[in-house]
């Protein structure tokens, strides 16, 4: 099984900050990496697919990069609505998928 490890597990930041979340796969997954945002009591929302493609309707302050085993999600200038939990997910072994453990982004 492919394991996905996110860092950090939690992060405190302020509005306007630039934030980077890292996701590492236990083996190469090429670019088959997706990012989701989840707010309390809501279903996850797709932000980024195949490592760097921005989902329609997602603000351009979100970006993704990486390939192989190391990936990043960057928020260029945090907005109040961005405080949430973020998950990476591999689809290299699709239809079997794996999520990272999540990164909780909190207001400083």
Partner 1 sequence: QVQLVQSGAEVKKPGASVKVSCKASGYTFTSYDINWVRQANGQGLEWMGWMNPNSGHTGYPQKFQGRLTITRNTSINTAYMELSSLRSEDTAVYYCARGCSSTSCYQENWGQGTLVTVSS
Q: Which residues bind partner 1 (CB under 8 A)?
A: 1, 32, 34, 36, 38, 43-46, 49-50, 55, 87, 89, 91, 94-102
Neighbouring C-beta atoms of residue 83, cutoff 10 Å: 17
The minimum distance between CB 8 and partner 1, in angstroms, equals: 14
Residue from 86, 90, 96 nearest 45 by CA: 86
Minimum CB distance to partner 1 smaller for 15 or for 50: 50
Q: Is 105:47 a contact under the CB 8 Å cutoff?
A: no
Minimum CB distance to partner 1 smaller for 49 or for 78: 49
The minimum distance between CB 73 and partner 1, in angstroms, equals: 14
Minimum CB distance to partner 1 smaller for 81 or for 94: 94
The minimum distance between CB 46 and partner 1, in angstroms, equals: 5
Which residues, at least 6 apart from 67, have a Cβ–Cβ distance to it below 8 Å?
30, 31, 51
Tokens 């309707």 -> residue: 57
């Amino acid at each position: 099984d492919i394991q996905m490890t996110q860092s950090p597990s939690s992060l405190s930041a302020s509005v306007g900050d630039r934030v980077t979340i890292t996701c590492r796969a236990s083996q190469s997954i090429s670019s088959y990496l997706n990012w989701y945002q989840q707010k309390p009591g809501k279903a996850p929302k797709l932000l980024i697919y195949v490592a760097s493609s921005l989902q329609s309707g997602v603000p351009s302050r979100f970006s993704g990069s990486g390939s192989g085993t190391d990936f990043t999600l960057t928020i260029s200038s945090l907005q109040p609505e961005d405080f949430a939990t973020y998950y990476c997910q591999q689809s290299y072994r699709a239809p079997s998928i794996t999520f990272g453990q999540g990164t909780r982004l909190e207001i400083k």
